């Protein structure tokens, strides 16, 4: 999935999860500033964990926002 497709579903942020052993920090990151053709997993290449500094981050659409969340509740 690229950011264009994600945005078409009303989602404007990715959920980012630090994969570093012993960290596990997570957060939601707005990606309005990134181009439409960027694949969602590649957003992780632009991120660094704010808790431990690791670049070992996994990203996926933040489905807590957008049409799905409105249709099915949070």
Give the tens place of pLDDT for each residue, 36-54. 999 999 999 999 999 999 9
What does the pLDDT average to over 19-46? 97
What does the pLDDT average to over 4-33? 96
Average pLDDT over the chain reads: 92
Listed in sequence order, the DSSP H helices in the chain are: 3-8, 67-72
% of the chain at pLDDT higher than 70: 89
Coil, helix or strand at residue 16: strand
Which tokens belong to 29?
Answer: 């990151």
């Amino acid at each position: 999935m690229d950011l264009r497709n994600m945005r078409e579903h009303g989602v404007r942020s990715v959920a980012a999860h630090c994969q570093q052993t012993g960290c596990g920090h997570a957060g939601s990151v707005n990606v309005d500033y990134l181009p439409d053709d960027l694949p969602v997993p590649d957003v992780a290449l632009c991120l660094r964990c704010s808790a431990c500094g690791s670049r070992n981050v996994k990203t996926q659409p933040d489905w807590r926002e957008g049409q799905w969340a409105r249709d099915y509740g949070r």
